[in-house]
């Protein structure tokens, strides 16, 4: 029997995991310690909602947008395509032309492999972002969620957040900070489960890919 193939596409949240410049530090500080006479070991977690692999709730980029608990879980779970777009950016943005060779009807979820490494030792300021035209063209072809291995769909210094705005306008959900470094292009089932943070603008998530058709 072929062993099950689960691809973990989440970033490990290592100590001192780099955060968005100016955002809150990621820390897990020691709580109780068995070695110190306590009955259990515990930790105290502090994190931005946008650390590592995470989802954006629409409220992150739209004051009238949905909070995390109002996004149905099936937005984050189901059929997806992984597309290798390394070297395809123009002026730091991925053009709609990255979809040129693809069918006019796409799976509801599209994950873009821009070439980020599996681990970040420093924040990758110079990441590749998405053009709003790409977001709109993907939505036109049936995409309802766009994911990227970069920390944002917009460039670091953007003030207008044009790709986020295109996601707002097209009702496209956003998954950021993936680790796609070991993922071949193709079709999969995405299982991405954000922490159920009530009222939140986003949340860290565990995301995996299953081969298509795998349900057990």
Ligand X SMILES: N[C@@H](CC(=O)c1ccccc1NC=O)C(=O)O
Q: Binding site for substrate: which residues?
A: 20
Q: Which is nearer to ligand X, 50 or 113 (CB)?
A: 50
Strands 202-210 and 186-194: antiparallel
Say if strands 93-94 and 109-113 run parallel, antiparallel, or are unpaired: unpaired
* Identity of the residue, 50 or 113, whose beta carbon is nearer to Zn ion in the bound complex: 50
The residues that touch ligand X, with contacts defined as CB under 6 A, are: 20, 22-23, 48, 50, 56, 60, 151-152, 154, 176
3-state secondary structure of 69: helix
Catalytic site residue 119? no
Q: Which residues are annotated as a binding site for Zn(2+)?
A: 50, 54, 56, 164, 176
d(CA 20, CA 107): 30
Burial class (CB in 10 A: 0-12, 13-18, 19+), 213: exposed
CB of residue 201 to Zn ion, shortest distance in Å: 8
Radius of gyration for the alpha carbons in the chain, expressed in angstroms and rounded: 18
Q: Please pick, among 17, 60, 113, 198, the residue that the annotation labels catalytic.
A: 60
Stretch that binds Zn ion, among 2-10, 117-125, 129-137, 173-181 (CB under 5 A): 173-181
CA distances (Å), origin 125, targets 92, 101, 129, 178, 191: 11, 29, 11, 16, 28
Question: How far apart, in Å, are the Cα atoms of 52 and each of 31, 107, 127, 149, 196?
Answer: 23, 25, 14, 10, 16
Taking the complex as a whole, the smallest distance from the CB of residue 153 to Zn ion amounts, in Å, to 6
Q: Rule CB under 5 A: choose which of 50, 109, 113, 168 binds Zn ion.
A: 50
Instruction: Return the one option of ligand X, Zn ion, none that residue 23 interacts with (CB less than 5 to 8 A, by type).
Output: ligand X
Contact partner, 17, from Zn ion, ligand X, none, Cβ < 5-8 Å per class:
none
Residue 98 or 167 having the CB closest to Zn ion: 167
CB of residue 9 to ligand X, shortest distance in Å: 16
Q: To which residue do tokens 């500080």 refer?
A: 29
Binding site for Zn ion (CB under 5 A): 50, 56, 152, 176
The residues annotated with a catalytic role in the active site are 60
């Amino acid at each position: 029997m072929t062993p099950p193939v689960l691809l973990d596409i989440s970033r490990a949240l290592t100590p001192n995991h780099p955060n968005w410049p100016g955002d809150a530090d990621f820390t897990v500080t020691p709580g109780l310690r068995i070695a110190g006479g306590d009955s259990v070991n515990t930790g105290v977690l502090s994190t931005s909602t946008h650390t590592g692999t995470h989802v954006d709730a629409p409220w992150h980029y739209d004051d009238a947008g949905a909070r995390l608990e109002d996004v149905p879980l099936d937005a984050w779970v189901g059929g997806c395509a992984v597309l290798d777009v390394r070297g395809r950016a123009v002026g730091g943005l991925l053009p709609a032309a990255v979809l040129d060779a693809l069918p006019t009807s796409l799976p509801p979820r599209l994950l873009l492999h821009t070439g980020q490494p599996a681990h970040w030792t420093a924040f990758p300021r110079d990441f590749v972002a998405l053009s709003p035209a790409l977001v709109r063209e993907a939505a036109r072809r049936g995409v309802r969620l766009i994911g990227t291995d970069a920390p944002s769909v917009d460039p670091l210094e953007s003030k207008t957040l044009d790709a986020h705005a295109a996601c707002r306008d097209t009702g496209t959900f956003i998954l950021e900070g993936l680790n796609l470094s070991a993922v071949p292009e193709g079709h999969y089932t995405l299982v991405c489960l954000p922490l159920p943070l009530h009222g939140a603008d986003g949340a860290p998530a565990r995301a995996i890919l299953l081969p298509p058709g795998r349900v057990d």
